Amino acid sequence: MTGVEGTGGIVVFGAGGRAGRAVTAEARRRGYRVTAVVRDPGRYPDLGAEDVTVVRGDVTDPGSVAGASGEAVAGAAGGAVAAVHAVSPFSGPEQGFDSLDPEFFVKAADALLGGLAAAGVGRLVAIGLGANLLGADGRPLMDDPAMLPPEIRPFALAHTAGLRRLCEAEDTTIDWVMLTPAAQLEHGGPRTGRYRFGGESLPAGAASLSYADLAVAVVDEIGTPTRHRRRVSVFIPAAWPA
């Protein structure tokens, strides 16, 4: 953890979800002003707080992204320094896949790259999906039914397509990074302020990661960017060295 204090604003797309809420809380803790973007503000009456402005937005619409980000730039002292993509259209297998748009994350990538550039926000931190990290055999974990139930594979493929779109955007002005939890995310787990970054493969000995520590990593990468235009894993080792 860097401990960098905020000097501007952060736009959090998907602020109503677990990751988005954790990032919002961590950003406020560091002194950032947060623009919390959700599709329907009426569903999230508890999001508004001191230094948090809740706005309506659609992460797959470039105009909506630009508008929400522009509000953040105008409303935060020092302007908006970064955006966080924590939107997921899928809450679990019980939801089914009839309404899942396989192009959702591709559309989101395009809208974010274009909309953020138009609003003058240069940094994007996206939350990744561990299922498309590589296993010991060099193949994506989602290819192994023992690692990912087949019924969830369509969501993993959609997420992977969005990552690919970001990687292929060589002419973008946006300095993006995707932080991918390498183990089960623990809801309600403690904030230790500790984590490690890995690469494209599942790290050996990775333990569970709390949403709070994922948020620490996200806000650290906003305050002091260290990874650029790539996807990395983020995890807590099963045993920290002394």
**Helix (H) or strand (E) run with residue 167 in it:** helix 153-168
> Which residues, at least 6 apart from 184, have a Cβ–Cβ distance to it below 8 Å?
208, 209
Quote the CA–CA distance of 2 and 226 in Å, as a whole number. 11
Question: Does pLDDT of 92 surpass 80?
Answer: no
Query: What is the pLDDT at residue 94?
Result: 59
The model scores a pTM over 0.85: yes
Query: How far is Cα 130 from Cα 185, in angstroms, rounded to an integer?
Result: 10
Calculate mean pLDDT across residues 211-233: 97
Mean pLDDT of the chain: 91
Q: Give the number of other CB atoms < 10 A from CB of residue 26.
A: 25
Q: Where are the alpha helices (DSSP H) in 3-145?
A: 18-29, 62-75, 104-119
Q: Residue-wise over 34-49: b if at least 16 C-beta within 10 A, else e?
A: bbbbbbebeebeebee
Average pLDDT over residues 127-150: 92
**What is the four-CA torsion angle of 146, 148, 151, 156, rounded to 10 degrees?**
-150
| Span 50-61, average pLDDT | 95
Asked whether residue 241 carries a pLDDT value surpassing 80, the answer given is no
Note the pLDDT of residue 96.
Answer: 63
Q: Which residue has the higher pLDDT, 242 or 121?
A: 121
Strands 33-38 and 185-186: unpaired
**Statement: residue 2 has pLDDT above 70:** no
> Is 97 a residue whose pLDDT tops 80?
no
103 CB burial (10 A radius; 0-12, 13-18, 19+): middle
Domains of the chain: 9-237 (3.40.50.720)
Q: What's residue 152's pLDDT?
A: 86
Query: Taking 90 as the threshold, does the pLDDT of residue 31 lie above it?
Result: yes
What local confidence, expressed as pLDDT, does residue 139 receive?
Answer: 94
Q: How far apart are alpha carbons 20 and 223 in whole angstroms?
A: 17
Question: What does the pLDDT look like over 176-203, one tens digit per residue?
Answer: 999 999 988 988 899 999 999 999 999 9
The two tokens of residue 187 are: 């809801």
Length of the chain: 242
**pLDDT score, position 4:** 53
Q: How far is CA 150 from CA 7, 18, 143, 145, 147, in A?
A: 44, 24, 9, 6, 9
Confidence at residue 1, expressed as pLDDT on a 0 to 100 scale: 46
Distance CA 213, CA 25 (A): 11
Which of these, 239, 236, 241, lies nearest to 194 by C-alpha position?
Answer: 236
| Separation CA 94–CA 212 (nearest Å) | 25
Q: Which residue has the higher pLDDT, 173 or 208?
A: 173
Residue 91: which pLDDT band, with cuts at 50, 70 and 90?
Answer: low
Range scoring the smallest mean pLDDT among 92-106, 133-147, 208-222: 92-106
Whether residue 242 has pLDDT greater than 60? no
Identify which has the larger pLDDT, 7 or 149: 149
